[in-house]
């Protein structure tokens, strides 16, 4: 008779999970760069079509659906990257009140008309040290999870509370609740009770990963047929959050500077060329690092800005930037990244996918010597 070793079985299961996550990390990092290039092209042309072409109302709705689909695809890519830890967190002091408050409009669109949303914010500043984009992702994932638990409608409540040592985020719903058999596995990556094609099984796994990365804890209270409460506690950060007032937006910022654009994806390079030339800039194009360095050396007039993908065939974006710094003193640099690659400290990095407006504003900010609002929506 063969005796089973429960400890050995648990180790094997842990090894399988680790191997699966490592595979996910390699897969996510490998495809995210190319995938985000394509998303930038899809969303970029869709937004240009919406803003520049007069089309009938029904066609306008088709364009909006394209943009929404690109946004959802981008969110899925971020989930994969965040969970595989290939997307580095960029923690900063933020007010959870402000983060949740600014998401209200988007959350109402996500949950639909059949669900009542009530939000209660802390009476005082709820400062935490975390990555703003990742905290938004935590809120969004929990709200989507609550929405899916209330297909016939219900009530969704989001609460922020600030104590002396912790800031608490609570997301509760009046949905179906979570059975005991599911509760023990709900944070496992790839585990889902939804039908095939309806979920990745990563939403709650990503939530827990982000919360723990920020030094927080997550608890669940649930009752079948009554609803579910997710309770998240973050360490309260010392100091006050200084909210920067957004600059007055100037539509289609323009310029006459000379820009060297280095991007190996032809369709994205063509889109960016169109966007920047329409704003008056003079573009010099390169498809890889070696060609970019050659263009720098052969430039007949000073180059004002280098815009380069981090990952390029041949010489990398940082390699090109070092050559640019030597041969074009005074020139500025903007990197683009498809999946959070490391870049030299102090050099701004624009994450793909980005909108035409975002590209134009960031380029203008850098040329004018301002710190670009890389993480702001747009």
Q: For position 363, which CATH number holds?
A: 3.40.50.2300
Q: How far apart are CA 105 and CA 109, in angstroms?
A: 7
What does pLDDT average to in each consecutive run of 10 residues of the chain (378 residues)? 50 62 64 81 89 80 83 70 60 92 86 92 94 87 92 95 95 93 80 57 81 93 94 90 50 85 94 94 96 94 95 92 92 86 82 90 94 64
Q: Are residues 310 and 222 in the same domain?
A: no
Q: Residue for token digits 């007949």?
A: 300
Domain that holds residue 185: 92-235
N-term to C-term CA, the chain: 66
The DSSP H or E segment spanning 318 is helix 317-327
Q: Are residues 78 and 112 in the same domain?
A: no
What pLDDT is attached to residue 33? 72
Q: Are residues 209 and 105 in the same domain?
A: yes
Residue 190 covered by a domain: yes
Q: Are residues 103 and 222 in the same domain?
A: yes
Angle between helices 356-367 and 6-52 (to 10 degrees): 80
Angle between helices 317-327 and 289-298 (to 10 degrees): 10
- pTM, rounded to two decimals: 0.58
Cis peptide upstream of residue 353 (ω within 30 degrees of 0)? yes
Q: How far apart are CA 300 and CA 282, in angstroms?
A: 13
Q: Are residues 69 and 99 in the same domain?
A: no
What pLDDT is attached to residue 10? 47
Q: Are residues 123 and 194 in the same domain?
A: yes
Burial code of 119-158, b = ≥16 C-beta within 10 A, e = fewer?
Answer: eebbeebbbbbbbbbbbbbbbbbbbbbbbbbbeeebebbb
């Amino acid at each position: 008779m063969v005796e089973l070793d429960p400890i050995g079985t648990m180790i094997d299961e842990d090894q399988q999970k680790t191997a699966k996550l490592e595979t996910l990390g390699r897969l996510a990092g490998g495809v995210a760069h190319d995938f985000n290039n394509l998303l930038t092209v899809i969303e970029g042309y869709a937004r240009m079509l919406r803003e520049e072409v007069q089309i009938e109302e029904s066609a306008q709705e088709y364009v909006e659906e394209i943009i929404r689909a690109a946004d959802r695809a981008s969110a899925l890519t971020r989930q994969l990257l965040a969970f595989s830890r290939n997307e580095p967190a960029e923690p900063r002091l933020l007010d959870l009140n402000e983060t949740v408050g600014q998401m209200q409009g988007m959350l109402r669109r996500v949950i639909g008309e059949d669900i009542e949303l009530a939000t209660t914010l802390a009476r005082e500043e709820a400062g935490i040290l975390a990555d703003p984009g990742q905290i938004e992702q935590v809120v969004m994932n929990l709200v989507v999870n609550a929405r899916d638990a209330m297909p016939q409608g219900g009530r969704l409540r989001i609460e922020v509370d600030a104590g002396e040592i912790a800031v608490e985020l609570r997301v509760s719903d009046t949905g179906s609740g979570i059975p005991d058999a599911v509760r023990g596995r709900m944070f496992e990556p790839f585990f889902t009770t939804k039908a095939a094609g309806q979920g990745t099984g990563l939403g709650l796994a990503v939530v827990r990963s982000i919360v723990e990365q920020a030094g927080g804890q997550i608890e669940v209270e649930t009752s079948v047929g009554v609803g579910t409460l997710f309770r998240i506690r973050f360490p309260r950060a010392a100091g006050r959050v200084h909210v920067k007032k957004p600059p007055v937006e100037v539509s289609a910022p323009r310029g006459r500077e000379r820009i060297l654009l280095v991007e190996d994806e032809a369709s994205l390079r063509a889109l960016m060329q169109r966007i920047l030339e329409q704003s008056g800039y003079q573009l010099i194009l390169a498809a890889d690092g070696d060609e970019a360095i050659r263009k720098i050396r052969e430039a007949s007039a000073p180059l004002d800005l280098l815009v380069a993908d981090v990952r390029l065939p041949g010489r990398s974006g940082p390699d090109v930037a070092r050559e640019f710094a030597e041969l074009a003193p005074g020139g500025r640099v903007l990197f683009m990244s498809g999946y959070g690659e490391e870049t030299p400290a102090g050099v701004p990095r624009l994450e793909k996918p980005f909108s035409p407006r975002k590209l134009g504003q960031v380029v203008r900010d850098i040329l004018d010597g301002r710190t670009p609002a890389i993480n702001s929506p747009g």
